[in-house]
Amino acid sequence: MLALVPAYLAVLMLSASPGCPDTGATTFFDNGNGFQGYRLLGSDSYASFFVGRAFRKAAADESGLPGRAEFWVDRLLVQWQLVPASAFGASSSADRAKLKAWLDFELGYVKRAASKAKASLANIHTFEPFESRGSDDKPRLFQIWQAAVGNDGKATQFWIGTPHRKGVVMVSVIARSDEDLGAAKLLIDSYMANYGPVTPASCQRLRESS
């Protein structure tokens, strides 16, 4: 389920039960400078902020994987989801080991798709995992990799993963041309700075603000 609602409606929805709801829904609201997103998984809920002016649901989201949100922020195509640990077979719950297993899984998947001509992929570049301190002043580990995609290779796709108790939360951003790269990097920086868990205390504050 993907929804875009005003802030006050998001508050009402989050106040439906003590703590955060465990519906699996992905919900967004517009705060004027961008779009605050929530994935509602009870005590495992997470949230982040996507900077931009216009938001619209992508057609592919209708038949997407459960829990996968696919949407446009201005000219950028974004996908946001929790990849469960069972999908990539992490042998350790340690953050760096989990990110390494996820990276190997994602690279293998897209390379197989490219070999079967289901995708075009070139110029793959992976970065070392790094810590980024969020707006809550807590450091979090992120893994980024990118590739040129599309038949003409003019689009750039970025994958950003961060560990979660149930696996890895992944956001994918596609910049369709070089002109969109600046906006993509701004969105990614904002996403990493604002990513974090939606704690029961945060849900309580949202209920009290209604």
pLDDT at residue 122, as a whole number:
83
Pair type for strands 26-30 and 2-5: parallel
pLDDT at residue 151, as a whole number:
75
Q: 3-class DSSP state for residue 157?
A: strand
pLDDT at residue 25, as a whole number:
85
State the pTM of this model. Answer: 0.85
Reference 160, options 199, 189, 194; nearest CA is: 189
Q: CA of 148: how far to CAs of 13, 100, 112, in Å?
A: 39, 21, 16
Cα–Cα distance for residue pair 46/195, rounded to 1 Å:
7
pLDDT at residue 15, as a whole number:
40
Cα–Cα distance for residue pair 31/140, rounded to 1 Å:
24
Report residues of the chain scoring pLDDT below 50.
1, 5-17, 207, 209-210
Task: Give all domains of the chain, ordered by start, each with its CATH number.
Answer: 2-208 (3.40.1000.10)
Q: CA of 73: how far to CAs of 51, 63, 141, 186, 200, in Å?
A: 8, 19, 24, 12, 28
